[in-house]
Amino acid sequence: MLVYALVAGLLFGLYFSLVGIGLNLVFGVMRIVNLAHGDFLMLGAFIAVGVSALAGFDPLFAVPLAFVVFVLVGLVLYYLLVPRLQGSVDPEMLSIILFFGLSQVIEALTTIAFGTSERSIDSGELGKILAGLRVHVFGGDADGPVELLGQSFPTSWVISAAVSVVAILLVYVYLYRTRLGTLTRAVMSRREEAFATGINVDRVSAVAFGIGLGLAAIAGVFAPFMFGSVTPAFGEDATVTSFAIVVLGSLGNPLGTALGGVVYGISYMVVQTYLSSWADLLPYVLLILILLLRPSGLLGRRVRVA
C-alpha cells in the first residue's frame, strides 16, 4: 500500500504542479492574488466534458482548445481589470476583492448554464490514440491500467502526469529560453525598474496573465479524471488547493510550484490511503504549517524586497 501511495502521489503531484503553476506565474509577475484561479480550472473541465460528451472527441483535443481560449480570455481580462489594480495604493488587497467577485460571477453563470449536477467523463475516453500506440509498442489491453513498479494505475492518471510534465517544461522554456521569458523574469524581479528600462510591462504582464489562465484551463481538462467529477462549485476547492501548493513550493517562484505539487501530491495520497477521512483537510493543514514554520516556502525565496 505504501508503494502504491507513493507512486500514485507522484502522479498526482505532477498534476497538482500544473494546477498551481499558473496561479504562481500570475502572482510572480503582477503581485495580484487571483482568487478565481480555480474557476478557470473548472471551466477547463467543462470544455473537456463538452469536447467528449457533445462532440465525441478524445478529451485530449480539449487541451490545445482550452489553452488558446483562455489565453485570449486572459488577455482581455488583463486589459479590462489589471492596469486599474496596478494603479491603486494596495493592488494585492484589491485583487483579492476583485477576483473573489469574479469567482462568484463565474460560478453563478456556470450554475445557471449547466446546473449543479456533477459532470464526469469515462476514463477510457482519455488518450484513445495514445492507448492504441501503447498496445502497438508494448502489447496488452488498450483499456487496461498502466503497470509502474509492480502496481497498476489508471491510464488517465499517467497521461495527466505526462501532460503536466510537458506543460511545466514548456513554462521553463518560456521563462528561461526566450526573450519574452527574460523580460518576464525582469518584471518579476523588479517591476518598477523594468518599466524604467523601457520594457513594455503591460504587454509582458498580459501575456503572463493569459498563459496563467491557459495553464489553469489545461489542468481543468484532466480534473474529471483525477477527481472523478466536477461541478460549478469545484473552483473554490481548486483555488484553496492551488494556494496550498504555491505557498508550499515558494510564492512568486513559478517553477517552485513543481516541488510544492509533488510534496502535496505524495502527502495527499498517503493521507488518502491511511487516513482517508482527513484528506480533505490536507490543503488547510499544509497552509497553516508552512506559514508557521517556513513562510517563504520550501525553496526559501522571498517575494518582497524592502
The helices-and-strands tally (H runs, E runs) of the chain is 12, 2
Match domain 2-293 to its CATH number in 3.30.160, 2.60.40, 1.10.3470, 1.10.15.
1.10.3470
Spatial contact of 30 and 208, defined as CB atoms under 8 Å apart: yes
Instruction: Answer whether residue 138 shows pLDDT above 90.
Output: no
List, for residues 272-301, the tens digit of each pLDDT value: 888 888 888 888 888 888 878 887 777 764
pLDDT tens digit sequence for 11-46? 999 999 999 999 999 999 988 889 999 999 999 999
Q: String of b and e for 117-130 (b: at least 16 CB within 10 Å)?
A: eebebebebbbbeb
Q: Please report the pLDDT score of residue 300 as a whole number.
A: 60
Calculate the average pLDDT of the chain: 88
Tens-digit pLDDT profile for residues 144-199: 678 888 888 888 899 999 999 999 999 999 999 999 999 999 999 888 898 888 99
Percent of residues, the chain, with pLDDT higher than 70: 92
How does DSSP classify residue 152? E
**Environment class of 104 (CB within 10 Å of its CB; exposed 0-12, middle 13-18, buried 19+):** middle
With contact defined as beta carbons under 8 Å apart, do 185 and 153 qualify? no
Question: Given CA atoms 79, 81, 84, 85 in this order, what sign does their dihedral have?
Answer: negative
Cell of 168: 511545466
| Residue among 240, 235, 237 at smallest CA distance from 109 | 235
The grid coordinates of residue 23 equal 496561479
Task: Check residue 305 and give its pLDDT.
Answer: 35
